[in-house]
């Protein structure tokens, strides 16, 4: 008597309809975090830009922080813990709570 091996069909990527930026792609892998690429596939950086167009911060640290905040917010939602806001800010920055 043999065993039968079943393989689940797993999509290579899940596309989110209606939320894609116009000139880049943003992807996430649970063990790698966020990755940003241009429309033609070249590496890009995630940045925080103020209302005047100044780049306040950019790069891997921003990508890691954005990913961790999103994951923590989702975990809080799943646990029903009532924490609807998750904040990441520089230590000792004195920045106000949002």
For the segment 19-57, what is each residue's pLDDT rounded down to a tens digit?
A: 767 888 888 888 888 888 888 989 999 999 999 999 999
CA dihedral (78, 80, 66, 61) positive or negative: negative
Check: CB of residue 33 under 8 Å from CB of residue 67.
yes
Q: Is the pTM of this model over 0.75?
A: no
Mapped onto helix, strand or coil, the DSSP state of residue 42 is: coil
Give 77's pLDDT tier (boundaries 50, 70, 90).
Answer: confident
Task: Please check the confidence at residue 69 and state whether its pLDDT lies above 60.
Answer: yes
Give the tokens for residue 28: 């996430």
What pLDDT was estimated at residue 82? 62
Exposure on the CB side of residue 82, measured as CA atoms within 13 A: 0
Task: Round to whole Å and give the CA distance between 26 and 35.
Answer: 6
What pLDDT was estimated at residue 43? 94
């Amino acid at each position: 008597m043999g065993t039968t091996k079943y393989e689940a069909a797993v999509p290579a990527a899940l596309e989110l309809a209606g939320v894609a930026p116009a000139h880049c792609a943003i992807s996430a892998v649970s063990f790698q975090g966020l990755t940003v690429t241009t429309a033609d596939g070249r590496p890009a950086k995630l940045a925080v830009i103020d209302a005047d167009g100044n780049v306040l911060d950019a790069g891997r640290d921003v990508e890691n922080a954005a990913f961790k905040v999103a994951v923590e917010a989702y975990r809080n939602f799943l646990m029903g813990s009532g924490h609807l806001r998750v904040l990441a800010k520089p230590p000792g920055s004195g920045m106000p709570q949002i």
